[in-house]
Amino acid sequence: MSLFLRTLALYSLTAIIALAASSETTSHFQSGIESYQNSEYEIAKTQFTVALELEKTAAAHHNLGLVYFKLNAPAEAVWQLERAQLLEPFNADYRYKLETVRQELGLFAGSAKWYTLASAALSSKTWLILATVSFWLLLAVVILPRLRETKANIGLKALRGISITVFILSIPSLWLHQRLLQ
């Protein structure tokens, strides 16, 4: 078998496995929704828990929180709804349901901090790309003028300042974004 065919077979197998895992998660999630709508909350709890073990999503945390609320487990409901809001801080529905459950428990919390919202504005991958590009650009802007034994002009100085700023902002945002996903 040629190298091309082996590579093609490997990529095909990887795609099939990824698709199967995705459909399994969707299957458990949909089963949980159906059980919730039929007022079978224990079954729904099990299905959403399995879906979360396969893939952590804000929707699964949100629905599991609603199930816990129906099962009169408010602490677990708040925790799951908070996880959903941390994963998707701009989702007004998640924020509304979390605040509603908190009000029923007598817990009043403020809104999400500005830096949490800023961190969630971009994905982890995007923050990582910004950090990497700004680091290498900063390195090039600092080293290249020294290698050429010339002074940096105003454009290079501006680029250096922008690179430093982006790098300084992207590292904590990347860390916070990863922390929120755990």
pTM of the model: 0.53
Whether residue 167 is found in the same domain as residue 82: no
Same domain as 131, residue 102: no
CATH assignment of the domain containing 42: 1.25.40.10
Per-residue pLDDT tens digits for 20-34:
444 555 787 888 888
* Judgement on whether residues 92 and 121 belong to the same structural domain of the protein: no
Average pLDDT over residues 173-182: 75
What is the pLDDT, as a whole number, of residue 22? 47
Tell me the per-residue pLDDT of 43-59, one tens digit each, with 9 for 90 and over. Answer: 889 988 888 888 888 88
Among the three residues 89, 112, 135, which one is the final residue of a domain in this structure?
A: 112
Contact 68, 77 (CB under 8 A): yes
**Contact status, residue 70 vs residue 81, Cβ threshold 8 Å:** no
Q: Give the highest mean pLDDT range of 105-109, 130-134, 149-153.
A: 130-134
Last residue of a domain, one of 72, 94, 112: 112
106 and 166, same domain (yes or no): no
d(CA 70, CA 65): 9
State mean pLDDT over 109-118. Answer: 69
State the total domains in the chain: 2
Residues 124 and 165 in one domain: yes
The reply to whether 34 and 82 lie within a common domain is yes
Dist CA 53 CA 181 (whole Å) = 14
The residue from 112, 141, 172 where one domain ends is 112
pLDDT, tens digit (0-9, with 9 covering 90-100), for 81-93 = 888 888 888 788 8
Amino acid at 150: T
**Residue 151 structural domain:** 117-181
Residue 106 and residue 20 in one domain: yes
Q: Which amino acid type is present at position 95?
A: R
Alpha carbons 16 and 7: distance in angstroms, whole number? 14
